């Protein structure tokens, strides 16, 4: 390659101690702000740069024959991204595409194999050491950690010189959690490093617990007593799947000294583990948001996979569809029977797109639908996701297949008594009064399940804003046929123009397993100046949480809601409370649209 | 007029009251001059069909096809292979060319049967035989703890079946409502049954109460038996007893809904004097198919009361009239509402009064003091009191058998009137 023709490059990336540090250069030099990573499973994700430093690259300057202008001297960059943001991505063991962005434009890109620095490893050790040393020199990494790797001093540490015990250890989806005790842990201010080098836990991030039993034990053993806080809870949130040990490091101002290497045996049972972690972290309450992300998130983030799906038209479309109904199906396949019964209430200019998001149900759904093809009264497709992608992705996939100008997102546990309300809502959409139209939904006993959503603070969840359903469980009024503007509507039955849906960036996959995406979508639309309407009808039922209740135990569900609530608040609490811009840009498309005002208020 | 009757079983292959009622109607229609052709299509297992095709003929009779439909999902009762069912029904209609299809049950067929018939342009009359659309507990409207159920609701049904959410019950109801809407007319053999369905949402303008007529052959035999007023002419030889004892007969399946356990528990509550005056015979099948605990309970009660009760086991339907004739009273102790029990029809046709629970279709078909007596449902003490009264009585209620026979013939006529009206509409 003739480097003189190249004006930028990503050269290397090193994963170590909670960061992925990307090294590269660009000419003219610009500040890296975002990094887009194309992982080993073809997932493309965009991440904010947590820290960056520029530095001179005389080699590049020479190759490019750039001369020696002092202003342009530092064309090299090192950009650090939080490893915790890469949960679920395949960034180790395969080539990774990296594109570095500044002010919305790519400034450097390249494909690299991410370097690692395991305590026992020697592959790439010299190259890794060089870059870790550079990162330390640039202030992106604790110098003491780079020294630790350079000297390999942790490889031989096998025994802790002081009393300790591991009481409980369990694997999450992407790492592991350990609970136990080390004599005088808080007073000793230990740090911890997973032996794959990926997770570093400084004393400030260790969760300590008072352990009176340990104090009694140490007193009986006549050992020194500096504190009652011997208990520790450690989250090694983003390790390699085979990592099962960590170093205990004595932390002083000048160095980190390995004093033990501890190997753990893992227990089974995710719900039990989550209950345990909840109790340990939150003491019976929800842990604070930062801790919750650290300790809960690894349990819920599955391996991210690029969306692959097949479309099987069971009843082929004849002409252009007016409305495309998108129904994700998860776990409970029997909803297909009520959905197909309901289909007969709709005219054939509605098309039905069932998105099977549960590989264990693909076969039975295919079987049922293909054997009921004669019974279908509307164009109907079964979209089969290769993996379980979740609520947001399934709806987005359905929307990508949809041929209708209008999309109607429908949960599988919704029952629509009559097409009339949907037709009316579509007309309202056509009049351009509202960008999203939701519907009043009833429970099976005729009381209100959804009559628009609002937001309220929750004491239980550290004063975060929760989605609220006003009037839930009360009898509905007879104000049918009217439309009112509301802060947000549920995605259980939500109508939106297809073009607009694609413009605003669809449902966001940042939320896990189906929660808050609807509120997020509504707020995106409102942020861009749009309006949300609620159509009042008493003909539509939502048998809420019939599928989500199948997702796991109570601990899992609560933790999941809390995590999604945290993500939602990080983005939208400022906007909701003060009508300010979101705390976190909810996607490049939306940011660009907002800037260009292509989507505007009506 | 051409009529197709669709049943969920053939009475020669499965011994249920609904199958018998459908077949009896078929026999009436065959004899009626207004009906040019009638076909009785019964659901059967592939083994009962007997060859590799989905459809065959019962004993080679061209007007009695057997069909093995694909299985249906439970509890939605929607077909797991609609296309195959559609093909079978379309071929059945192409062959029989009915003006009216009278469906006697969707069990085994699936609810899709009703939609397919509608879609193929036929007029559909549907007979309710129990409360299947309303109640998931075998359509009995009785709670799983055996309390009577007055009305369904998703939350209450969930209490009976905790594995199903209220929402799933809501959807079940919507599915049933949707599919029943494909019918042109509903027949209920009792006012009580119809009232339950009207309360549930069936349009009373397209529904009526019409009794299931028993078969013409039975009516002819009843006329020949000339029994009544408690006479015992034609009694089976093995049931001869001392004339001094009042004889009470139970006829029906032995299961947890039919209340035979209530009858058995009543016996120990009777005085020795009453016991000496009574003789109770139990004729019933399917005890061997019940849950172990129920079987053990019944066996134990039978053994404990063998001084009064004799258990005769299963009986052949064609012998029921003769068997009933040997008794003075017939007892129907069901703990569920019932509809229009065949056993009450048969008892009255042989002139026997009926002692039954004071609920539902039983109470409707028995007039206290006229052709029977009531006791409180599920209450052995009250049943024992009523049995003691019967034991002390010197005479038995008079029942006009000829009027009963005429009523059944009229019920068959009424069916034909409905077919005419529906076919014209």
Helix axes A362-370 and A335-343, enclosed angle (nearest 10)? 30
Mutate to test the interface with B, among A334, A336, A341, A418 (most CBs of B within 10 A): A341
Predicted ipTM of the assembly: 0.76
- Residue pair A486/A526 in contact by the 8 Å Cβ criterion: no
Mean pLDDT of B387-415: 90
How many Å separate Cα B119 from the centre of its chain?
29
195-254 in chain A: CB under 8 A from chain B: none
Closest to A491 measured CA to CA, from A324, A328, A305: A328
What pLDDT digit, counting tens, does each position of A114-140 carry?
A: 999 888 766 456 788 889 999 999 999
| Token representation of residue A267 | 């227990």
pLDDT at residue B244 is higher than 90: no
> Percentage of chain A surpassing pLDDT 70?
89
114-133 in chain B: CB under 8 A from chain A: 115
B242 min Cα distance to partner chain A (Å): 60
pLDDT band at A262 (very low <50, low <70, confident <90, very high): confident
Pick the range with the lowest mean pLDDT from A260-274, A448-462, B85-99, B207-221: A260-274
A419 CB near a chain B CB, below 8 Å?
no
pLDDT band at A5 (very low <50, low <70, confident <90, very high): low
Cβ pairs A/B, distance under 8 A: 74
pLDDT band at A259 (very low <50, low <70, confident <90, very high): confident
| Token representation of residue A335 | 């909803």
Which of A340, A368, A445 faces B154 most closely, judged by CB atoms?
A: A445
CB contact under 8 A, A444 and B82: no
CB contact under 8 A, B80 and A368: yes
Query: CA dihedral defined by B71, B73, B79, B81, rounded to 10 degrees?
Result: -60
Helix (H) or strand (E) segment spanning residue A153: none
B253 CB near a chain A CB, below 8 Å?
no
Tell me how far apart the alpha carbons of residues B403 and B412 are, in angstroms, rounded to a whole number: 15
pLDDT band at B238 (very low <50, low <70, confident <90, very high): very low
CB contact under 8 A, B167 and A367: no
B119 min Cα distance to partner chain A (Å): 9
Which residue in this structure is represented by tokens 């066996």? B299
pLDDT at residue A586 is higher than 60: no
B7 min Cα distance to partner chain A (Å): 22
Mean pLDDT of A239-244: 90
The pLDDT value recorded for residue B235 is: 44
B78 CB near a chain A CB, below 8 Å?
yes
Closest to A394 measured CA to CA, from A509, A551, A563: A509
Mean pLDDT of A509-537: 92
CB contact under 8 A, B83 and A444: no
pLDDT at residue B414 is higher than 90: yes
Pick the range with the lowest mean pLDDT from A271-275, B170-174, B400-404: A271-275
- Residue pair B321/B298 in contact by the 8 Å Cβ criterion: no
The pLDDT value recorded for residue A589 is: 53
Q: Please count the other Cβ atoms lying within 10 Å of the Cβ belonging to residue B222.
A: 24
Pick the range with the lowest mean pLDDT from A69-78, A425-434, B380-389: A69-78
Helix (H) or strand (E) segment spanning residue B233: none
Of B124 and A206, the structure prediction assigns the larger pLDDT to B124
B138 CB near a chain A CB, below 8 Å?
no
What pLDDT digit, counting tens, does each position of A394-419 carry?
A: 999 999 999 999 999 999 999 999 99
B205 min Cα distance to partner chain A (Å): 22
The pLDDT value recorded for residue A326 is: 98
Mutate to test the interface with B, among A337, A446, A545 (most CBs of B within 10 A): A337
| Token representation of residue B376 | 């409180």
Chain A residue numbers with beta carbons less than 8 Å from the beta carbon of B82 are 371-375
Of A125 and B231, the structure prediction assigns the larger pLDDT to A125
A541 min Cα distance to partner chain B (Å): 9
What pLDDT digit, counting tens, does each position of A131-190 carry?
A: 999 999 999 999 998 888 777 665 565 555 678 888 888 888 888 988 899 999 999 889
Chain A residue numbers with beta carbons less than 8 Å from the beta carbon of B171 are 335, 337-338, 413, 415, 543
B286 CB near a chain A CB, below 8 Å?
no
**What's chain A's average pLDDT?**
86
What's the farthest any 2 CA atoms get from each other in chain B? 65
A341 CB near a chain B CB, below 8 Å?
yes
Tell me how far apart the alpha carbons of residues A520 and A482 are, in angstroms, rounded to a whole number: 25
pLDDT at residue B231 is higher than 50: no
Which of B84, B86, B174 faces A341 most closely, judged by CB atoms?
A: B174
Chain A residue numbers with beta carbons less than 8 Å from the beta carbon of B73 are 334, 337
Which of A338, A372, A375 faces B174 most closely, judged by CB atoms?
A: A338
Tell me how far apart the alpha carbons of residues A85 and B374 are, in angstroms, rounded to a whole number: 75
The pLDDT value recorded for residue B241 is: 43
Greatest mean pLDDT among A12-21, A62-71, A244-253, B218-227 lies in A12-21
B88 CB near a chain A CB, below 8 Å?
no
Annotate A76-145 with DSSP letters as a single string: EEEEEEEGGGGTT---SSSEEEEEEEETTEEEEEEEEEPEE--TT--TTHHHHHHHHHHHHHTTSS-HHH
Q: Taking CA B346 as the corner, what is the angle to CA B301 and CA B101, rounded to the nearest 5 degrees?
A: 115
Chain A residue numbers with beta carbons less than 8 Å from the beta carbon of B162 are none
Which of B83, B165, B179 faces A546 most closely, judged by CB atoms?
A: B165
Interior/surface letters B22-35, b for 16+ CB within 10 angstroms, e for the rest:
bbbbbbbbeebeeb
A216 min Cα distance to partner chain B (Å): 48
Kindly list the distances between the CA atom of residue A246 and the CA atoms of A157, A174, A267, A382, in Å, as whole numbers in the listed order: 10, 15, 17, 47
| Token representation of residue B248 | 């009470």
Beta-strand runs (E) in A224-345: 231-236, 245-251, 256-263, 309-315, 323-329
The pLDDT value recorded for residue A4 is: 45
CB contact under 8 A, B83 and A334: no
| Token representation of residue A20 | 């992925």
What pLDDT digit, counting tens, does each position of B161-192 carry?
A: 999 999 999 999 999 999 999 999 999 999 99
B18 min Cα distance to partner chain A (Å): 27
The pLDDT value recorded for residue A153 is: 61
Q: Please count the other Cβ atoms lying within 10 Å of the Cβ belonging to residue A304.
A: 20
SS3 label, residue A497: strand
- Residue pair A284/A366 in contact by the 8 Å Cβ criterion: no
What pLDDT digit, counting tens, does each position of A323-346 carry?
A: 999 999 998 899 999 999 999 999
Helix axes B112-119 and B82-96, enclosed angle (nearest 10)? 50
Tell me how far apart the alpha carbons of residues A89 and A222 are, in angstroms, rounded to a whole number: 49
A331 CB near a chain B CB, below 8 Å?
no
SS3 label, residue B236: coil
The pLDDT value recorded for residue A1 is: 40
pLDDT band at A205 (very low <50, low <70, confident <90, very high): confident
5-44 in chain A: CB under 8 A from chain B: none
Which of A344, A371, A415 faces B171 most closely, judged by CB atoms?
A: A415
Which of B84, B155, B174 faces A415 most closely, judged by CB atoms?
A: B174
Gyration radius of chain B's alpha carbons: 22
**What's chain B's average pLDDT?**
91
Tell me how far apart the alpha carbons of residues A273 and A181 are, in angstroms, rounded to a whole number: 17
């Amino acid at each position: 390659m003739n480097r003189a023709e190249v004006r930028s490059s990503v050269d290397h990336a090193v994963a170590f101690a909670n960061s992925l540090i990307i090294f590269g250069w660009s000419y003219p030099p610009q500040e890296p702000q975002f990094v887009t990573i194309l992982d080993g499973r073809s997932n493309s994700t965009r991440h904010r740069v947590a820290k960056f430093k520029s530095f001179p690259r005389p080699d590049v300057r020479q190759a490019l024959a750039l001369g020696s202008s002092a202003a342009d001297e530092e064309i090299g960059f090192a950009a650090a991204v939080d490893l915790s943001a890469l949960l679920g991505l395949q960034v180790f063991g395969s080539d990774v595409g990296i594109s570095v962005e500044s002010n919305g434009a790519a400034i450097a890109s390249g494909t690299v194999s991410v370097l690692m620095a395991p305590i026992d490893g020697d592959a790439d050790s010299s190259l890794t050491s060089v870059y870790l040393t550079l990162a330390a020199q640039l202030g992106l990494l604790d110098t003491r950690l780079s020294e630790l790797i350079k000297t390999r001093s942790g490889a031989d540490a096998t025994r802790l010189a002081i009393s300790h015990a591991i009481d409980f250890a369990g694997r999450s989806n992407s790492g592991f959690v350990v609970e136990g005790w080390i004599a005088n842990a808080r007073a000793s201010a230990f740090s911890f490093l997973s032996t794959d080098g990926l997770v570093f836990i400084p004393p400030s991030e260790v969760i300590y617990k008072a352990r009176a039993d340990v104090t009694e034990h140490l007193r009986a053993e006549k050992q020194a007593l500096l504190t009652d806080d011997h208990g520790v809870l450690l989250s090694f949130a983003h390790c390699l799947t085979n990592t099962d040990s960590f170093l205990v490091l004595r932390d002083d101002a000048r160095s980190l000294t390995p004093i033990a290497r501890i190997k753990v045996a893992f227990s089974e049972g995710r719900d039990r583990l989550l209950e345990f972690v909840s109790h340990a972290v939150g003491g019976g309450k929800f842990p604070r948001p930062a801790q919750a992300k650290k300790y809960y998130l690894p349990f819920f983030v599955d391996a991210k996979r690029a969306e692959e799906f097949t479309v099987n038209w069971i009843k082929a479309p004849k002409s252009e569809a007016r409305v495309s109904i998108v129904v994700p199906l998860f776990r409970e396949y029997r909803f297909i029977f009520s959905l197909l019964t309901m289909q007969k209430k709709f005219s054939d200019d509605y098309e039905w797109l069932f998105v099977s998001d549960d590989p264990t149900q693909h076969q039975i759904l295919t079987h049922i639908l293909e054997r009921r093809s004669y019974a279908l009264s509307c164009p109907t497709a079964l979209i089969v996701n290769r993996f379980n992608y979740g609520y947001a992705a399934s709806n987005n996939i359905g929307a990508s297949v949809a041929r209708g100008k209008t999309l109607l997102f429908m949960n599988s546990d919704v029952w629509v008594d009559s097409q009339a309300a949907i037709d009316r809502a579509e007309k309202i959409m056509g009049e351009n009064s509202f960008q999203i139209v939701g519907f009043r939904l009833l429970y099976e006993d005729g009381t209100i399940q959804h009559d628009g959503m609002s937001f309220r603070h929750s004491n239980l969840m550290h004063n975060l804003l929760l989605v609220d359903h006003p009037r839930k469980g009360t009898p509905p009024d007879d104000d049918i046929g009217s439309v009112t503007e509301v802060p947000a509507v549920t995605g259980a039955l939500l109508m939106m123009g297809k073009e607009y849906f694609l413009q605003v960036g669809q449902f966001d996959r940042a939320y896990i397993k189906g929660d808050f995406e609807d509120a997020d979508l509504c707020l995106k639309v409102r942020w861009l100046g749009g309006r949300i309407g609620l159509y009042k009808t008493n003909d539509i039922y939502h048998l809420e949480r019939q599928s989500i209740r199948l997702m796991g135990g109570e601990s899992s569900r609560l933790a999941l809601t809390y995590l999604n609530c945290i993500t939602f608040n990080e983005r939208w609490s400022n906007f909701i409370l003060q009508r300010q811009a979101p705390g976190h840009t909810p996607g490049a498309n939306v940011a660009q649209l907002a800037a260009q005002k292509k989507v505007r208020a009506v | 007029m051409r009529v197709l009757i669709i049943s969920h079983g053939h009475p020669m292959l499965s011994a249920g009251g609904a199958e018998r009622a459908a077949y009896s109607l078929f026999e009436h229609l065959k004899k009626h001059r207004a009906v040019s052709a009638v076909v009785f299509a019964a659901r059967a297992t592939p083994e009962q069909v007997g060859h590799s095709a989905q459809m065959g003929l019962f004993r080679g009779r061209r007007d009695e096809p057997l069909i093995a439909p694909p299985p249906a999902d439970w509890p939605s009762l929607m077909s797991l292979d609609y296309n195959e069912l559609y093909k079978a029904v379309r071929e059945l209609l192409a062959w029989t060319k009915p003006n009216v299809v009278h469906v006697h049950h969707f069990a085994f067929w699936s609810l899709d049967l009703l939609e397919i018939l509608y879609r193929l342009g036929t007029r559909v009359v549907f007979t309710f035989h129990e409360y299947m659309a309303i109640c998931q507990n075998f359509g009995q409207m009785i709670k799983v703890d055996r309390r009577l159920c007055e009305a369904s609701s998703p939350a209450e049904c969930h209490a009976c079946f905790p594995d199903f959410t209220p929402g799933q019950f809501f959807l079940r109801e919507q599915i049933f409502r949707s599919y029943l809407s494909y019918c042109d007319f509903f027949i209920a053999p009792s006012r009580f049954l119809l009232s339950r369905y009207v309360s549930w949402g069936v349009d009373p303008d397209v529904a009526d109460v019409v009794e299931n007529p028993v078969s013409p052959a039975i009516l002819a035999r009843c006329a020949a038996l000339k029994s009544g007023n408690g006479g015992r002419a034609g009694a089976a030889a093995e049931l001869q007893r001392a004339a001094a004892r009042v004889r009470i007969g139970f006829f029906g399946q032995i299961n947890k809904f039919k209340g035979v356990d209530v009858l058995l528990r009543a016996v120990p509550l009777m005085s020795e004097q009453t016991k000496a005056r009574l003789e109770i015979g139990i004729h019933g099948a399917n005890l061997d198919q019940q849950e172990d605990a129920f079987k053990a309970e019944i066996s134990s009660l039978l053994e404990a009361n063998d001084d009064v009760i004799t258990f005769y086991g299963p009986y052949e339907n064609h012998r029921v009239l003769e068997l009933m004739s040997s008794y003075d009273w017939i007892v129907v102790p069901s703990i569920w509402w019932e509809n229009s029990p065949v056993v009450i029809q048969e008892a009255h046709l042989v002139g026997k009064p009926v002692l039954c629970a004071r609920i539902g279709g039983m109470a409707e078909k028995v007039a206290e003091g006229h052709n029977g007596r009531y006791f409180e449902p599920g209450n052995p003490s009250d049943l024992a009191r009523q049995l003691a009264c019967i034991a002390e009585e010197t005479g038995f209620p008079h029942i006009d058998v000829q009027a009963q026979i005429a009523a059944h013939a009229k019920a068959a006529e009424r069916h034909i009137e409905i077919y005419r009206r529906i076919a014209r509409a």
